[in-house]
């Protein structure tokens, strides 16, 4: 519980663990900010989140209309 509330989020070391994490860690860190007032989206909701560079290539209107095809669809 302490780690969730207080500890910084850490990611695997790519060289040591051979696990490569997206370059968009900035987005993840902003969404996981400890203080809720500092989290991405806390001030202006989803619009603030969608303005992050990670979503720059996403056509929001097509997404809202559910007309986007996912790049990957898992077998269920």
* pTM value > 0.85: no
Residue 50 confidence (pLDDT) above 80: yes
Residue 24 confidence (pLDDT) above 80: no
HSE-CB for 53 with a 13 A CA cutoff: 4
- Going from the C-alpha of 12 to that of each of 20, 22, 34, the distances in angstroms are 8, 11, 20
**Nearest-angstrom CA–CA distance, 39 and 27:** 10
Residue 70 confidence (pLDDT) above 90: no
Query: 64: part of which helix (H) or strand (E)?
Result: helix 60-64
pLDDT exceeding 70 applies to what percent of the chain?
Answer: 100
Sign of CA dihedral 14, 28, 76, 74: negative
Q: Between these two residues, 14 and 23, which has the higher pLDDT value?
A: 14
């Amino acid at each position: 519980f302490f780690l969730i509330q207080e500890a910084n989020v850490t990611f695997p070391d790519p060289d040591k663990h051979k696990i490569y994490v997206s370059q968009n860690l900035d987005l993840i860190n902003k969404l996981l900010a400890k203080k809720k007032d500092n989290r991405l989206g806390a001030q202006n909701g989803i619009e603030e989140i969608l303005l992050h560079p990670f979503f720059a290539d996403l056509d929001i209107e097509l997404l809202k209309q559910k007309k986007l095809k996912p790049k990957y669809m898992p077998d269920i």
